[in-house]
Amino acid sequence: MPLTRRDFAKRSAATGAGVALAGSAGVLATAPGAVAAAAAGPATGAAEQGPGYGPLLPDPDGILALPAGFSYRIVTRTGVTTLDSGEPTPSNHDGTGAFAGPRATTLLVNNHELKGPRADWPHPVPLAEGLVYDPAAAGGCTVVEVAKDGTPVGERVGIAGTSTNCAGGVTPWDTWLTCEETEDKAGRRGMTRDHGYVFEVDPHDLAAGRDPRPLKALGRFAHEAVVVDPRRGHLYLTEDADTPNGLLYRWTPPSGFRHGRGRLRTLADDAGVLAAVRCYDSGGRFVDDLSRATRPGTVYGVDWIEVPDRDARTVSVRKQFDDGEITRARKLEGMWWADGGAYVVSSYAREESPVRHDGQVWFLDPGRRTLTLKLRFGVNPDPEHGGAFDGPDNISVSPHGGLIIAEDGEGVQHLFGATDDGRTYPIARNELNIGTAEEPEYSEFTGPVFSPDGRTLFVNIQEPGLMVAVTGPWRRQDRPGHRR
């Protein structure tokens, strides 16, 4: 039964560990020239100061522009730093999960988005004995150990022989789910096994990942990110694909199944139910594509339609549905679980979508069966200029309030924050030019995540592959007068 307008008007009073986007507005809103969705009362000194930490200062070393008082330390750098085995750090850093390690260290599981055969890449993930899925594939994960002060302690392989390891997600049982953003099958691009799966990596016990097994119950498609509902046991997954646009999925575990370390790999390939989202508006009308939502605060009801063939033996999963059955979106990217639901990114939409935009952030509320548009970016008319943000990709929730978002758009690349009342602010700018002086090019930021103690923000520059630890005078980023 469609949700009513009264149902849609309900707001969650829950506040999760790090961010609460409820309140008088309950939305985020930003775009070139846009105004936040709601004000928080009379102007105060804090309001005049605005959110964030001030302007970004150029880096004399040409790597990372940061606000005054902030600094960074290089943790890993492709072809320069080495693994414990002596082999060079792999390239193309992407999604990253942070875990509390031994002796107050932080363990960082770092994806390496390397697609296709190993020969195509100067620095693939090394084929560590016992941790290889497909010896022909270049991708995988490394596990980086960092001391409390940000000093690198070591780096080792978590999984190898996977492909296009893009985002992923942390689990409540303290492991990392790494996602392959590809649909390559054995015999294509030199692969010897099928790809497009999710794998589990235990940063505390790498031996638990020996003889890597794909979690086929979660489907085979161009996976981007995954989150776990700790209360209901559902997993939500995004798909970064087009022709046709990708889907948002939910996996429901079989009756009696209990989550825990290594338990997902014990499941049968067809265990549980994998389903795709179907949205409808407050009048009960079907919504074919999430780009149609142009006003922050838009709320859709959600249903879930079961996937016929989750392993996509003959037809890609997203092509198994008629357009009138499910709701699509272009470039469904990062996700993060907080506040009793999942924050979901659609990076941008162009001619392949009904309405163009330069990014959306949604909040999926499983209890209310709703999907709410929290943040929307209008199309950036001048991406080479640093004044506007666009192309949100990886996302995380900050322990200091609000969201941390990695930019993957055209031109200038930022790491930026978004407060609960719709204001955005820069945290870092990539100054590592991988192009030329005449035609500069800057790679995307990836994998922003805070250390468990909230003191260090780790983030990657994907190409050529760089992980940095950012420290500074972090402070709360709530709206003026907001109280938790």
- pLDDT-above-70 percentage for the chain: 88
d(CA 468, CA 451): 12
Tell me the C-alpha to C-alpha distance, in Å, between residue 58 and each of 15, 116, 348, 417: 36, 36, 28, 19
Say which residues have a Cβ less than 8 Å from residue 469's Cβ, sequence separation at least 6. Answer: 72, 73, 75, 146, 150, 456, 457, 458
The whole-angstrom separation of Cα 372 and Cα 8 is 9
Position 386 scores a pLDDT of: 62
The domain ranges of the chain are 5-12+20-314+324-471
State mean pLDDT over 410-432: 91
CA separation for the pair 440, 478 (Å, rounded): 36
pLDDT in tens, 268-315: 999 999 999 999 999 999 999 999 999 999 999 999 999 999 999 999
Q: What is the pLDDT of residues 219-259, one digit of tens each?
A: 999 999 999 999 999 999 999 999 999 999 999 999 999 99
The verdict on domain 5-12+20-314+324-471 having CATH code 2.120.10.30 is yes
d(CA 342, CA 328): 17
Q: What are the tokens at 385? A: 């200029």
pLDDT in tens, 24-75: 233 343 333 232 332 222 223 333 467 999 999 999 999 999 999 999 999 9
Residue 454 pLDDT class (50, 70, 90 cuts): very high
| 88, 96 Cβ separation under 8 angstroms | no
Q: Is the pTM of this model over 0.95?
A: no
* Model pLDDT, residue 39: 26
